Amino acid sequence: MDLSLNVNGRPEQFSAPPNELLVERLRDGLGLTGTKVGCDTGQCGTCVVRIDGRSVKSCLVLTASAAGSRVTTIEGVTTLGGELTGLQEALREEHGTQCGFCTPGMVMALGELVDNTAGREAPTEPEIREWLTGNLCRCTGYHSVVRGVQRACSAARAGESAATAPGQEV
Amino acid sequence: MTAVTGESALQGNGVLGQPLDIREDPQLLRGEATYVADIDLPGTAHMAILGSPVAHARILSIDTKAAQELPGVLKVATAADFTDVMPLPCIWIPGGVESHFPPHPYGLPGARPVLTGDSVRHVGDPIAVVVAETPRQAAAALAAITVEYEPLPVVTRADEALAEGAPQLHEAVPGNLNAYWTCGDKDRTDAAIAEAEVTVELDLVNQRTINSPIEPRGAVGDYNAATDEYTLYASTQGPHNHRFLLAALVLGIPFNKLRVIAPTVGGSFGTKGYLYPDMALVLLLSKALGRPVKWVDTRTGLMNSTVQGRDHRQHVTLAGTRDGRITAVRATSYANLGAYPSTIGPGVATALMGRSISGMYDIPAAFCEVYAAFTNTVSLGAQRGSGRAEAAFLMERLVDRYAFEIGMDPAAVRRKNLVPKEKFPYDNGLGWTYDSGDYRLNFDRAIELSGYADMPARKTEARTRGKRLGVGIASYVAICGVGPSTRMSKEGMLGGTWESANIRVHPTGEVTVTVGSASTGQSHATVFAQVAADELGIDPAQVQVLEGDTQKAPYGQGTYGSRSYSMAAPAVALTARKLKAKLVKAGAVFLGVPEDKVVYEGGGVHEEGNEENAKTFAELAMAMWYGWGLPPEIEPALDETTHFDPPDFNYPFGTHVAVVEIDELTGETEVVAYTAVDDAGNIGNPKIVRGQIEGSIVHGLGQALMEAAEYDEDGLLISSDLNHYALPRAADVPFFTLDKTTTPSPHNPLGAKGAGEIATVPPAAAVVNAVVDALGDLGVRHIDMPLTPEKVWRHLRGEAQ
């Protein structure tokens, strides 16, 4: 079927089989390999992208059902080698990544949490941990990630744009 | 900055040991790193593997015709297509009574064929492969392959596999016994137990768990017909080892015709150091088809094919006096090796566990025996803390059981039996000689930091909230730094276990460090740059670190057993010292002064007492590049290599304290506080090590509370996806209280000890001790892991006694 998507601000038009998963379109069709695949059952969270601003596991979405929406992948968060967002910078400062395989999915999922924090009460530690339960990490034990989010949220609360690069829309 | 002269120029500039930011992180945070699944060579075809759906059967026939005719299918292959390929070998043969399958033409024990032709021995046992234009086409063709099986009886437990009349897995292995292995002094231990004032015994199940790196394994084979050269891209912990095993022992091709490249690897925890059929298959099929062939595993595929961990059934005994002095420990263990011996699985299940059982304690008599058996399950291998975690679990459970029996505080019993500081180096009587330690300092720090003295009051308070609070201690010693090659040969390891580094100083003063190790997420580039920069007295930003490509890196063994910082980093340091020594010699020429008047400082040299007469690091680099004016005994250029083989292992240790609360209504166990004081010797970058300690503890908590590879009676792995295999998630753990003690190892020039996995060793024991403490007044003396709410709830109700 002929479909169109807006991916990282670029309109994309293609033909895809009706059973194609969004993650397959992103990785195999569009070459956006920053989005990962770590399981077959929607458990690991390495494939999280944002669809119209919401963080979503792209292995649980058919390409066809995402048609017409705005999709942001990790490649849309920063440019290649570009300056880190506030969230990424906070995660860097706390070393919230080791092997890095879960990291793009974490950044995409947490981006929504941090964006929602701007101008509001920062999420509590249990709230951050709860938000993170959709993403598995085997290296860090999550501690450095949680600390990174706390750091990013306090920055976001102070009005800095943490998850999103200046002027960028997700 | 300390100025030092001549060959004694050993002190660094202080960047080592600092929590520098991790240089790998920005790329990872931007999603820019290339993992094996992200490699897309032009013309790539995709491979899928047909694993057996049954655990034990004779293969009567395989019909691939229908699959071959499906759209996009390029090739379907079975064992019959690979009769000239040697079996994958097993290279750690721990000794004792040995039998293996199938025999390897070089007289090695064979681990398994690349594809199974006669019988399948576990669910997932690879039978056939399909290569197609797309991954979906390859997967679809698997379903069109028809295999006729004659079912055979199944056994999934090691103890049952050794029983009379048990199903037999391999004709060459009567009774399914791969090895009967022992260490320690049996007679002395038996006598001490017979004479003891007090003995306690436990039957333990250290359940099988699945390592579960978040990146599944994958491999890309690329054969170049023009040069007859093969390239393998694989998620591997040890590219040089895989090159050796594949070229020499499986494919039978010249060593210099195979290049192995590890791209960014998404975690491993032991699994990716093993040799798997897929690695050979992508190379063979790439040659057959004249195209790159790529294979990436699924999660369920990983769970049915990648090595699993732990899996011991044990009967353990501790003897002691009424006043708390431990006099003997004895363990009998049935280790489940799975269907085939994995690359080093038999050694993990025997020596790494058995020689470690006495832990931090000074015990006069100890003995361990292991029956390692084949069963219809996935092969056993290493898992973060492998062997040592199983040892600590049995010892620390026994100590608590003993303390309860004699009515002493478990902390007091431990403290009384710690190996005293003055006894190092300490022979533990089981084969290890502990290098260094101040166990009492470490132990006391953990107890104090955990608020241990407040626990009785906290228990009382918790009961008012419907919670039972328990506290559990676990101490450990974790052998690391594999290792001294000759010593490992005596342990049955077929291969060198040294490590290497090369440093090349470029003419403009930048530096490239290349190591034989290969990171799977341990931030090697950051910490090895710190080592080189510290030694050379330069800015770490000047230092590039490369690894993971056999064509570029000096030979080395890879990352496993927490070895890189105590094996590869010393090689980096020693290489930097060679360069400094050379620069001092050459500096004498350039400065026109005698060698003993040359001061090496801040990366440059100057004349003692005359800082005007000096050369910077960049000036020296260029001068050495030109080589003008150098005497014959000084070679031009700055390019040195070291192969580091330590005199012995190193022995990090530590003490962890878990505090749990059990909900009296639901049986749910919550870890409410966790204190860990670990000693990894001198640490290169505390930021890296902190992350590894935290992650390791959570991995250990996973085994204690939720993880289990469950096979049903037909040998089907029920927990074969992440819906059914529980991994710890962020909401399952609290923040931890961490501290360290520092006892340098004398066995390497950095005083380093292993760190990466050590904190996985004690948490399971600490948590089970805490839960048994919380339920002790109900008569509960032990609960097997994982401590699921249902299991604990049954104990709360008195149903499980």
Which chain A residue shows the shortest CA-CA distance from B693?
A140
Answer for the pair B279, B242: CB distance below 8 angstroms, yes or no. yes
Amino acid found at B586: A
Which of B434, B436, B446, B272 shows the shortest CA–CA distance to B343? B272
Could you report the per-residue pLDDT of B372-421, keeping only the tens digit for each? 999 999 999 999 999 999 999 999 999 999 999 999 999 999 999 999 99
Q: What tokens were used for B615?
A: 């050369």
pLDDT at A119: 75
Answer for the pair A145, B730: CB distance below 8 angstroms, yes or no. yes
Amino acid found at A93: E
Which residues, including other chains, have CB under 8 Å from residue A127's CB and lie 6 or more apart? none
- In terms of C-beta density within 10 A (0-12 exposed, 13-18 middle, 19 or more buried), how is residue A121 classed? exposed
End-to-end CA distance of chain B: 65
pLDDT at B97: 54
- Is residue B345 within a helix (H) or strand (E), and if so which, with residue range? helix B345-347
Q: What tokens were used for B2?
A: 């300390």
Is the pLDDT at B254 greater than 60? The verdict is yes
User: pLDDT category, B100, cuts 50, 70, 90?
Assistant: low
Q: Which of B264, B298, B694 sits opposite A100 (nearest CB)?
A: B264
pLDDT at B110: 72
Place of tokens 């709830």: B793
**Residue B31 DSSP SS3:** coil
Which chain B residue shows the shortest CA-CA distance from A142?
B730
Q: What tokens were used for B229?
A: 């050269």
pLDDT at B96: 63
Taking an 8 Å cut-off on Cβ atoms, the answer to whether B267 and A98 are in contact is yes
CA distance B292 to B713: 40
Taking an 8 Å cut-off on Cβ atoms, the answer to whether A100 and B521 are in contact is yes
For domain A86-157, the CATH class is: mainly alpha
Domain residue limits, chain B: 4-33+498-644, 36-85+99-152+216-265+271-303, 309-482+648-796
pLDDT at B10: 41
* Cβ-based neighbour number of residue B174 at 10 Å: 9
CA distance B266 to chain A (A): 5
Taking an 8 Å cut-off on Cβ atoms, the answer to whether A92 and B29 are in contact is yes
Q: What tokens were used for B160?
A: 């049952």
Could you report the per-residue pLDDT of B164-208, keeping only the tens digit for each? 999 999 988 889 998 899 999 999 999 999 999 999 999 999 999
Q: Does A133 touch chain B (CB under 8 A)?
A: yes
pLDDT at B8: 34
- CATH 3.40.140.10 given to domain B4-33+498-644: no
Model pTM? Answer: 0.96
For residue A92, give Cα distances in angstroms to A108, B509, B691: 15, 28, 12
Could you report the per-residue pLDDT of B673-729, keeping only the tens digit for each? 999 999 999 999 999 999 999 999 999 999 999 999 999 999 999 999 999 999 999
User: pLDDT category, B68, cuts 50, 70, 90?
Assistant: very high
Answer for the pair B343, B369: CB distance below 8 angstroms, yes or no. no
CA distance B310 to B299: 20
Q: What is the CATH number of domain B36-85+99-152+216-265+271-303?
A: 3.90.1170.50
Q: What tokens were used for B549?
A: 């490509």
Tell me the residue length of chain B: 801
For residue A42, give Cα distances in angstroms to A21, A46, A48, B236, B300: 12, 9, 10, 25, 12
What is the CA B459 to chain-centroid distance, rounded? Answer: 37
Q: Are strands A48-51 and B638-644 parallel, antiparallel or unpaired?
A: unpaired
Is the pLDDT at B755 greater than 90? The verdict is yes
Paired with B599 in beta bridges are B5, B606
For residue A138, list chain B residues with Cβ-Cβ distance below 8 A: 211-214, 267, 269, 695, 699, 727
User: pLDDT category, B45, cuts 50, 70, 90?
Assistant: very high
Phi, then psi, of B507 in degrees rounded to 5: -60, -25
Query: Secondary structure of chain A: what % helix, strand, coil (to 5)?
Result: 35, 15, 50
Ordered DSSP codes for B459-511:
HHHHHTTTEEEEEEEEEEE--BS---HHHHHHTTB-S---EEEEEEE-TTS-E
DSSP B292: -
Could you report the per-residue pLDDT of B438-452, keeping only the tens digit for each? 999 999 999 999 999
Q: Is the dihedral of CA A161, B23, B527, B493 positive or negative?
A: positive
* Cβ-based neighbour number of residue B626 at 10 Å: 11
Alpha helices (H) in B519-592, listed in sequence order: 524-536, 569-591
Q: What tokens were used for B20?
A: 């520098």
CATH topology of domain A2-76: Ubiquitin-like (UB roll) (3.10.20)
Query: For the domain with range B309-482+648-796, which CATH number is right: 3.40.190.10, 3.90.1150.10, 3.30.365.10, 3.40.50.620?
Result: 3.30.365.10
Average pLDDT over residues B456-462: 98
DSSP B633: T
Domain residue limits, chain A: 2-76, 86-157
Q: Are strands B110-112 and B467-477 parallel, antiparallel or unpaired?
A: unpaired
End-to-end CA distance of chain A: 26
Taking an 8 Å cut-off on Cβ atoms, the answer to whether B727 and A138 are in contact is yes
Could you report the per-residue pLDDT of B327-359, keeping only the tens digit for each? 999 999 999 999 999 999 999 999 999 999 999
Is the pLDDT at B58 greater than 80? The verdict is yes
User: pLDDT category, A104, cuts 50, 70, 90?
Assistant: very high
CA distance B546 to B214: 24
* % of chain B with per-residue pLDDT over 70: 98
Answer for the pair B155, B338: CB distance below 8 angstroms, yes or no. no
pLDDT at A162: 47
DSSP B216: P
Could you report the per-residue pLDDT of A57-86, keeping only the tens digit for each? 999 999 999 999 999 999 999 999 999 999
pLDDT at A124: 95
pLDDT at B135: 96
CA distance B651 to B369: 22
pLDDT at A155: 81
Ordered DSSP codes for B786-798:
S--HHHHHHHHTT
Q: Are strands B198-209 and B737-740 parallel, antiparallel or unpaired?
A: unpaired
pLDDT at B99: 60
CA distance B671 to B202: 24
CA distance B534 to B12: 5
Alpha helices (H) in B277-326, listed in sequence order: 277-289, 299-303
Q: Answer with the residue of higher pLDDT: A155 or A61.
A: A61
User: pLDDT category, B800, cuts 50, 70, 90?
Assistant: confident
Measured N-to-C along each axis, helices A143-157 and A103-117 cross at an angle, to the nearest 10 degrees, of 30
CA distance A12 to B455: 61
CA distance B537 to chain A (A): 25
Q: Is the dihedral of CA B564, B565, B567, B569 positive or negative?
A: positive
For residue B731, list chain A residues with Cβ-Cβ distance below 8 A: 126, 129-130, 132-133
| Averaged confidence pLDDT in chain B | 95
Which chain A residue shows the shortest CA-CA distance from B28?
A100
Ordered DSSP codes for B125-136:
-EEEEEEESSHH
The two domains B4-33+498-644 and B36-85+99-152+216-265+271-303 share their CATH topology (first three levels equal): no
Q: Is the dihedral of CA B51, B53, B59, B62 positive or negative?
A: negative
Taking an 8 Å cut-off on Cβ atoms, the answer to whether B267 and A82 are in contact is no
